[in-house]
Chain A
Amino acid sequence: MHPTFAVIFLTTLIGVGQGLFLALFTEQSYSAAKLLPTQESSFYVTGSFIALAFLIGGLIAAIGHLGKPIYMITRAWRGVTQWRTSWLSRELILMPVVMFLVFLYGLVHLLGLDADLFGSSELNGQLTLIIGTVSTAAVFALFIATAMIYASIKFLQEWACALTVANYLLLGSASGFTLASAYAAFTAPELVTFYAGWAMIITFAGFITRSGSLIRNARIKYKSTLQTAIGVRHTKVQQKAMGMMGGSFNTREFFHGKTAAFLKSIKWIFLVLVFPIPLLLLWAGMDGSKALLVLAFATQYVGLLFERWFFFAQANHPQNLYYQTV
């Protein structure tokens, strides 16, 4: 497939936003269970607004993927109507829901609102715990919807796999937790080891699932062949003309247009930038070094841009069987 930057930025940015929110709420639930020191509400307020900024950034990137930006206002609302069948529609619904809930979570923390919902006066922040739980569910649902957009197309065999969902979930969360470690280095240094530790665990888990999908895709057996595509039972079939000379949508949208060597180098770049370097920097930054942790996040995010590019470029669409003289 031809990777588009709109989708690359959309998926990576909302991944960071969702992951950062999960990181904030994990901390709050740990502290509610008295496993971590309680934070000032400003920690959650700023944190959730940073997460919101990433989500909004993703939304802006998404506009670039529409035919015309104006469709965002005039037509995109129709995108909520087909949630019964379309994962893209589900994502379109969940995006604003998650954004609203993250905003609400930050706002309730900001206003210091609370209510005694569990009947236990000792537990502070019950209202935000409830909102946070609902938001966490929505964040997970959004991860799944985003990944299922790709995993649900059975013709794109590189994507049609549970590993795609695992990768979106883990890589998004990993970048969010890495950002949380950098954020904590500035605002709550006592949390750095907690966040960096989790970021390393999730990054490592992501490394396993992403390598798993690379290994799987390397030995994929395509269901369709030129023979089934045109229905000719002969071992030697060669395309001579595609029906056009200057290319068409079919030759632009479904080919990355790069060499195999280029593809391979992108693969190694992302494998290095997303996993080992951030792992090392996180480990080195455990003592609270701001520069190292910011660098860890920046490296991982840039690596994820390469990862997403590769994710799209690697997928081989069966329609390419009809366009072999490109």
Chain B
Amino acid sequence: MTQLALVIDLNVCVGCHACVTSCKQWNTSGQAGPLFDDNPFTKDPTGTFFNRVQTYEIGEFPNTETLHFPKSCLHCEDAPCVPVCPTGASHKRSEDGIVLVDYDKCIGCKYCSWACPYGMREFDEHQKVMKKCTLCVDRIYDESLPERDRKPACVLACPTSARLFGDVHDPDSEVSVAIRESGGYQLMPEWGTKPANHYLPRRKTKMRIHEDELVRVDNPLKKEDIRHETSKNVSLDDWLM
């Protein structure tokens, strides 16, 4: 069984909000109708978003570290927001594990948002139905797009590639490998919701350069790599560089 999900690398997220704006742009322009905003350009702007980036400070000044934390529906494998819905509007697709709200069935009772411990659902105050991340379900299967674009908008927008997308049930997928090898973890594991989305923790980013790496054949900086002949004649390169 397929379970599509995002893996978010907190080590490289720089908190630029590109995923937030690209998500909003894609999802407010889709068939399902706009994601409304109130006072977008004045005081107290508010609106419906599928994805938010929050910022946390860890440690005590001056030894602190800033953590940017993108937050969207985790497409839980045991999604507690699904069984509570009285109308069946909130559902989990069996074919790919995406949790969706059918906006035409939702009565706006907000019960599912109470049943999500993460606060990932946002009520649309204008359309009066519950909304949440769809993993860009209207995009990832769209065959009119080139194959490399068939990914959620946030994944494509991320300038640091902090967001990976794939099937977490396929042990060889990029996301599964990342979870396995980089200590991927789930949010609030204590509730047994089994979120499909995983986060990769921050880690010490260090680079140690070994001697042999400096003289390695493929090292373009090695001194043996003399591209131009050491000629005394002045070449065009000498003028340009």
Contact = CB atoms under 8 A, between A and B. Distances in A.
B160 interface: no
Nearest to B89: A78
B48 interface: yes
A64 to B, nearest CB: 11
B107 A66 contact: yes
A224 B117 CA distance: 9
A80 B55 CA distance: 42
Interface in A303-326: 317-320, 322-323
Interface in A237-255: 237-250, 253-254
B26 to A, nearest CB: 18
Interface string B1-22: 0000000000000000000100
A88 interface: yes
Contact of A75 (B43, B66, B87): B87
B119 A319 contact: yes
Contacts of B86: 78-82, 86, 88-89, 92
B59 A234 contact: yes
B69 to A, nearest CB: 5
Contacts of A247: 44, 46
A87 B84 contact: yes
A236 B128 contact: no
A244 B49 contact: yes
Contacts, number: 176
B189 interface: yes
Interface stretch (B108-116, B168-176, B207-215, B226-234): B108-116
B156 interface: no
B139 interface: no
Contacts of B123: 67, 249, 253
B45 A245 contact: yes
Contacts of A232: 56, 58, 67, 201
A100 B61 CA distance: 65
Contact of A230 (B46, B69, B88): B69
B118 A153 contact: no
A85 interface: yes
A22 to B, nearest CB: 26
Interface in B189-208: 189-191, 199, 201
B115 A231 contact: no
Interface in B95-112: 105-111
Given A68-B128, A86-B83, A322 B71 contact: yes
Given A85-B84, A230-B67, A322-B71, A75 B122 contact: no
B191 A241 contact: no
Contacts of A223: 190-191
Contacts of B129: 67
B191 A88 contact: no
Contacts of B117: 155, 224, 317-319
Given A230-B69, A231-B199, A249-B123, A85 B114 contact: no
Q: Is the interface of A mostly helix, strand, loop or mixed?
A: loop
Nearest to A233: B201
A65 interface: yes
B60 interface: yes
Given A236-B60, A243-B71, A155 B191 contact: yes
Contacts of A76: 87, 107
B58 to A, nearest CB: 5
Contact of A82 (B43, B55, B88): B88
Contacts of A86: 83-86, 111
A186 B129 CA distance: 47
B102 to A, nearest CB: 10
B105 A229 contact: no
A78 B105 contact: yes
Interface string B50-80: 0011111111100000110101000000001
A79 B84 CA distance: 11
A259 interface: no
Given A153-B84, A155-B117, A239-B56, A66 B109 contact: yes
A240 B56 contact: yes
Interface in A152-171: 152-156
Given A75-B105, A228-B189, 5 more contacts: A88-B85, A223-B190, A224-B190, A245-B44, A246-B44
Closest 5 CB pairs of A and B: A67-B108, A319-B119, A67-B128, A243-B52, A85-B83
21 contacts: A67-B108, A78-B88, A79-B86, A80-B86, A86-B111, A87-B84, A153-B84, A155-B115, A228-B188, A228-B189, A240-B57, A243-B53, A246-B45, A249-B122, A250-B122, A253-B110, A253-B113, A318-B118, A319-B117, A319-B118, A323-B119
Interface of B: 20, 39, 43-49, 52-60, 66-67, 69, 71, 80, 82-89, 105-111, 113-119, 121-123, 125, 127-129, 185-191, 199, 201
